[in-house]
Amino acid sequence: MSSFFFLNLESLDELEKLCVGLFAEVENKNVESPEWKEHPFGPENLQVRGLVVPVKDIRNLNITFPVPDMREHYATQVGYSNPCPRLAIV
């Protein structure tokens, strides 16, 4: 299952036209997402300090936190209130 998030002040119809125009050519390869029954990192991968020497002046940092699968709780959203009514998940 793939999804993306698109936030804009346009109407939903305008957003749909924009997204379809941008992503219509993307091929669906029906690839299964990896699934781990246990935590994917062991003790040897945790609490590791890495030192990096930059080779370019690019200031990006990507940090990934593995979290348990929440698909079974997706539809419940108990107590959730959308603070932005124009928010749309396509």
Q: Is 3 left (phi over 0), alpha (psi -120 to 50) or beta?
A: beta
What is d(CA 81, CA 78) in angstroms, rounded to the nearest whole number? 9
Q: Read out DSSP for 2-24?
A: ---B---SS-HHHHHHHHHHHHT
pLDDT at 79 over 70: no
Which 8-state DSSP code applies to residue 47?
S
Reduce the DSSP state of residue 81 to 3 states and report it: coil
Read off the pLDDT of residues 9-45 as tens digits, 9 standing for 90 and up.
Answer: 888 888 888 888 888 888 888 888 777 778 778 888 8
What is d(CA 11, CA 21) in angstroms, rounded to the nearest whole number? 15
Which of the two residues, 64 and 20, has the higher pLDDT score?
Answer: 20
